[in-house]
Each structure stands twice: as structure tokens, then as C-alpha cells.
Chain A
Amino acid sequence: MEHSIEHTHHAGSVKLFLYVWFWLLGLTGVEVFLAYEQLGVKLMLTLLMGLSIIKASLIIAYFMHLRYERRSLALMLMPALVFVVMMLFVVFPDSLRLLHMRPQ
């Protein structure tokens, strides 16, 4: 009981929220900076999506409190989401083929 009270206090502390907020703003700044660097499309996409996934994870873990819920909740929700998104990518390679097959 002692432990869980301490836990909720930590989970809801203003300091933590502001800390997460600064990180989110900082990462957004890095993204905008990257947009004006002359990087290859693949590298750019990897960096931007990597940063976005980090930002989304911060929001889910701390603002949406998922880190402090019972682990089974995250285990039910997240793998299912990741799996479906991966399935959505199944037809994606066709887009490259389409680019070359389209009549000009």
C-alpha cells in the first residue's frame, strides 16, 4: 500500500508532466530542424518516424498514464495495434511497382 501511494504521487507530479512536455517540444524542434537538412528520403523518414514514435510513447506512457496501469492493459492494447499496422503495410510494396508501371 505504501508503495502504491508513492507510485501514484510520482505518476501525477507536476514536475514530471513539465519534464515530458519539454522533451516533446524539444523533439518537435529537432524534427523541424531535420526537415531543412538535405538528407536522403529513407534516412529522413527513419529519423522523423523514430522521433514521432518516441513522442507518441511519451504521451501514451505519461500523459495517458499507461505506464502506471496494470501491465496487462498495455499488453492487450499495444501488440494488437502494432500487428494490425504491420498488416496494413502488406500491400505497400505495390506502390513502388505502380510508380514504374503507370502509363505516362
Chain B
Amino acid sequence: MGSQELTGSAHLHEAAVRESAWGGGGSPFAIGSKKLGMWLFIVSDAITFSALLIAYSYVRVASADWPMPFHFYPSVIKATVMTFVLLSSSVTMVMGVRAAKLDQRRTAAKWIGATMLGGLTFIVLHAFEWATLIEEGVRLFKNPWGTPLFGAAFFTLTGLHMTHVAIGVIYLGVVAGAYGSGRLSSEDVEVSGLYWHFVDLVWMFIFPLVYLLSVKMG
């Protein structure tokens, strides 16, 4: 049963890669170079976000008057919905990668489209969130409540994350188009999926550290 499924050049190539582990000319991690490259990028990008989150925590601990301005409505509920949207878009992405592995090009492109829609929803919701704060008087270097560092930390962190989401939506669009028309392989879809899940993962730290630890009580 198993050997019949292992037909096609992609599978043969994969089998060859897996066998030649440390023999030279192969891949010690049994993955393609694109996937390895994306993993290395993700680790370095994770360090960038860690540095920003730690810098944010540092200035917050060092400030006596750090503002905690987020009302349950609209900020916290909106950020929770954004978390839900991003987590769900990760599920549509794994479905897309799964379809690509099964060689269902059209289905894969549809799932990736759904993922892009999730990303766009996230960006729109976040833009409204920014607009609310800007209306309340928060700027990069001043705000009505306390230390001016709040605005700098908030906009830098969420801004860099939003940039990643925006780049991800464009990246997925390119991949969906090129995979749907046969110019890219299922491995390329998988690699773009890794990037998308990473963007989701980063939000899992920004959401509690920026929003949940700054809720306005009462």
C-alpha cells in the first residue's frame, strides 16, 4: 500500500533526500533548502520581536506612570476578535497546505484565499483600533495619560506586527496565484504557511503583553 503512493518525481526526490542524511550532497534535516531558509528567517525574526517585547517590558517596568488605557469595549473585545481571526486563518492555511500536498491546486488556492481574507480582516480591525487611540490623543511621543513611552512602544510593536501581516497577505497572494497556475510547487505553499503561522504566533505574545496587561479596570 505504501510503495504505490510513493510515485512521482517529487516523492522520489524526497526519499533520496531522506536517505542521504549526512552523506554529503543531501540535507541533514531532510527538508528542502527553501524550507530550511524560512525556518532560519523565522528564528531571526522571532529574535527581533523578542527584543522589541523585552524593550517594551523594560521601559514599562522602569516607568512609574505607565498608562493602562484599554477598555473592554471596544479595545479588548476587538483585540480578542483579532486573535480569533488570526488563529482561524492559521487553520485555513494548514488546510491549504494539506490540499497542496494532495495536489489539489484549486482547493489549495481557495484555502489560501480564505487565509488572506483573515489577514485583511485583522489589518482592518487593527487600523480601527489605531484610529481609536489616535482620536483619544495617543501619539508616538505623547499621550494624555502618562509616560510618552507608551505611544512609542505600542505603535512600534503593533506596527511591526501589522507590517508582517500585510507582507504575509501579499506573499500568500503571490503564492496562491503561482501555485494555482502551476508555476510553484506544494513545497512553496508549505513555506509560505510557515511564515503565516509565525505571524500568528507573534500575536500570541503581543496580545497578552500589550492588551491584557493594560486593561482598564472598573
Q: Do A and B bind each other?
A: yes
Would you call B204 an interface residue if the criterion is a C-beta within 8 Å of the partner chain's C-beta atoms? Answer: yes
B154, CB-defined interface residue at 8 Å: no
Complex Cα–Cα for A39 and B47 (A): 29
Q: Are B31's CB and A28's CB within 8 A?
A: no
Q: How far is the CB of B52 from chain A (nearest CB, A)?
A: 10
Residues of B within 8 A of A4 (CB): 2
Number of interface residues of B (CB under 8 A): 56
Give chain A residues whose Cβ lies under 8 Å from the Cβ of B28.
72
CB distance from B107 to the nearest CB of A (A): 13
Given the contacts A48-B213, A98-B62, A5 and B94 also touching, CB distance less than 8 Å: no
Summarize A's interface: helix, strand, loop or mixed. Answer: helix
A30 → B minimal CB distance (Å): 11
Residues of A within 8 A of B50 (CB): 84-85, 88
Contact between A28 and B46, CB atoms less than 8 A apart: no
Stretch at the interface among B81-89, B117-125, B160-168, B173-181: B81-89
A34-B212, A45-B213, A84-B47 given as contacts; is B94 within 8 A of A63 (CB)? yes
Complex interface residues of chain A between 66 and 92 (CB less than 8 A to chain B) = 69-70, 72-73, 76-77, 80-81, 84-85, 88-89, 91-92
B212 touches A21 (CB 8 A): no
**How many Å from the CB of B19 to the closest CB on chain A?**
12
* Interchain CA distance A28-B205 in the complex, whole Å: 11
Docked-complex contact A99 and B43, CB < 8 angstroms? no
Smallest CB-CB A-B distances: 4 pairs: A35-B212, A98-B62, A95-B61, A95-B62
Interface residues of A (CB under 8 A from B): 1-2, 4-5, 12, 14, 17-18, 21, 24-25, 28, 31-32, 34-36, 38, 44-45, 48-49, 51-52, 55-56, 59-60, 63-65, 69-70, 72-73, 76-77, 80-81, 84-85, 88-89, 91-92, 94-96, 98-99, 102
New contact pairs (7) apart from A12-B101, A28-B207, A70-B30, CB-CB < 8 Å: A12-B98, A17-B95, A28-B83, A35-B208, A64-B193, A96-B61, A99-B61
